[in-house]
């Protein structure tokens, strides 16, 4: 299988699953099937791929001086970001996105605030229902290893 020639990345470092994911995110984010991602599409793609809403600066950095980015350009820019992703750091960043007041826990109000910013179409009752499910899941499915990991990282996950 041949992979695109990606600047600064050895072909041996190109993971087929990551490449497939990048292509899938690109085409799903290209709403009107223009063949490129514009500013709005890039925001959706980064959110889908990396799990956070990119800053204006990051979107400008991805687009450069262009109005859009092609699949090849998207892969060249996003593959290193995907490969260099630190899962623990990613979890901390996502947690901090929800816990804006640095309380050390996430409650239903925090969850609702974030969803109102990134997914306005999801009804409030659905958000609260999912939150209740997560609370119950954690309450009945935590094992000693999970509790150790949470205490080791000083994380309180949920409060209701």
State pLDDT tens for residues 61-87: 999 888 999 999 999 999 988 887 767
3-class secondary structure, 36: coil
The percent of the chain in helix, strand and coil, each rounded to the nearest 5, is 60, 0, 35
How confident is the model at residue 155, as a pLDDT? Answer: 47
User: Alpha-carbon distance 56 to 58, whole Å?
Assistant: 5
Q: Which of 16-30, 83-97, 109-123, 135-149 has the highest mean pLDDT?
A: 16-30
* pTM confidence score: 0.53
* Alpha helical stretches, state H, 54-86: 56-63, 71-83
Q: What pLDDT score was predicted for residue 1?
A: 43
Task: Using the predicted structure, report yes or no on whether residue 160 has a pLDDT greater than 80.
Answer: no
Q: What is the mean pLDDT of the chain?
A: 78
């Amino acid at each position: 299988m041949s992979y695109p020639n990606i600047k600064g990345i050895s072909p041996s470092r190109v993971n087929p699953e990551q490449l497939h994911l990048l292509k899938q995110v690109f085409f799903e984010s290209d709403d009107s099937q223009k063949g490129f991602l514009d500013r709005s599409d890039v925001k959706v793609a980064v959110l889908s791929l990396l799990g956070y809403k990119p800053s204006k600066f990051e979107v400008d950095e991805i687009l450069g001086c262009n109005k859009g980015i092609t699949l090849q350009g998207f892969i060249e820019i996003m593959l290193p970001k995907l490969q260099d992703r630190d899962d623990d750091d990613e979890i901390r960043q996502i947690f901090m996105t929800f816990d804006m007041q640095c309380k050390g826990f996430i409650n239903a109000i925090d969850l609702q605030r974030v969803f109102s910013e990134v997914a306005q179409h999801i009804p409030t009752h659905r958000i609260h229902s999912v939150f209740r499910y997560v609370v119950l899941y954690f309450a009945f499915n935590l094992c000693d290893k999970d509790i150790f990991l949470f205490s080791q990282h000083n994380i309180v996950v949920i409060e209701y």
